[in-house]
Copies of this chain bind each other. A is one copy, B any other.
Amino acid sequence: MKIINLDSDYKKDYYSDFASWLQDDLNAVNKIILDSLSNSSKLISDLSSHIISSGGKRIRPLLTLASAKLCGYSGSRHINLASVIEFIHTATLLHDDVVDNSKKRRGKDTANYIWGNKSSILVGDFLLSKAFKLLTKDGSLKCIEIISKTSEKISLGEVKQLMSVKNLETSESDYLEIIDFKTAELFSAACQISCEISEIEDKKKKSLREFGKFLGIAFQIIDDTIDYFSSEENSGKEIGNDFKEGKMSLPLILSYKRSDRRERTYLEYILKKGRIINDDFLWAQQLMKKYNIEEDCMSKAKHFSIMAKDSLGTFQNSFEKEKILNLTDFLMFRKS
């Protein structure tokens, strides 16, 4: 007998609901993306289409589209800007997968696995440049400023993350800074650029900026938790990848802090010994079970998602606001 998880299934509707609300705009975004790639080389369009069409949830460009609606924007610039956000995100994914040696993303082979690292590096560069070219076409210096700052922070966050690999001294606040830079900045920028093209007061701009930031932090904590506690079938990625790469994400940081002397020594040994194997990962999962890591990570994510929702307090209740709040809830219950 199949037991239906009512709660999770209920939340799933929130996403379909959200995406269908914005479907027309999202189709327009997809068209811009495909058109922008069609004039480039075959490698660029094949590789980009592979990653862009691989069934991601398009959360970031959807945030741009939704923010524009929330701000009462009625023009069409948000379409172009949402494409910029997706390009920046895709460029980051391509380089990330090279840096992390990932073989799977969203249930499909990664671009670096299919086309090699060199292609992924160069196509990532192309997409980043394309993003700035599209931005220039839009012509808002303020939006260019937001995106260039964000792009700088993303790479700074990635560098900080790389420096912290296998460093068990990494603290929870080091981690929060890293995910703020590498993930939350782009969520925040996705919301901010829609404010810039709308005529809204500064305090509402600030609200949406903070909403994006807190949502991004919550999103990344869940992503990092999924990497220990989901199944590959659910997450579409290999799980245990973060652990095998020695990435100091929240579950590992908390586990180390809570471990006794013997467990700490063993964790140190695993991270130092070179190749981390599946048995090591199974051991780490057991350790995390003992210390209630999954639940605690999820409640930390929830803490930030509530901060995100409260950030929207400056906006009156509305149809648009409700959709965005529901999306936030959905993101807290996702399995992938």
Query: Which residues of A are at the interface with B, using a C-beta cutoff of 8 A?
Result: 40-44, 95, 98-99, 117-119, 121-126, 128-130, 132-133, 135-136, 139, 141, 144-145, 147-149, 151-152, 154-156, 158-160, 162-163
15 more A-B contacts (CB under 8 A) besides A41-B156, A44-B156, A125-B158? A41-B159, A95-B121, A98-B121, A119-B159, A122-B158, A123-B155, A123-B159, A125-B128, A125-B151, A126-B156, A128-B129, A129-B148, A130-B152, A132-B147, A132-B148
Q: Evaluate contact between B136 and A141: CB separation under 8 angstroms.
A: yes
Q: Evaluate contact between B144 and A136: CB separation under 8 angstroms.
A: yes
Q: Evaluate contact between B145 and A44: CB separation under 8 angstroms.
A: no
The interface residues of chain B lying within 8 Å CB-to-CB of A158 are 122, 125
**Cβ distance A80 to chain B, nearest Cβ, rounded Å:** 14
Number of copies: 2
The interface residues of chain B lying within 8 Å CB-to-CB of A160 are 41
Which of A44, A128, A158 is packed against the most chain B CB atoms within 10 Å? A128
13 A–B pairs (Cβ distance < 8 Å), ordered by A: A41-B160, A41-B163, A44-B156, A122-B159, A124-B125, A128-B128, A129-B154, A132-B132, A133-B145, A133-B151, A136-B141, A136-B145, A144-B144
The interface residues of chain B lying within 8 Å CB-to-CB of A145 are 133, 136
Q: How far is the CA of A128 from the CA of B130 in the complex (A)?
A: 12
**Cβ distance A203 to chain B, nearest Cβ, rounded Å:** 24
| Known contacts A136-B145, A149-B133: A125-B95 contact under CB 8 Å | yes
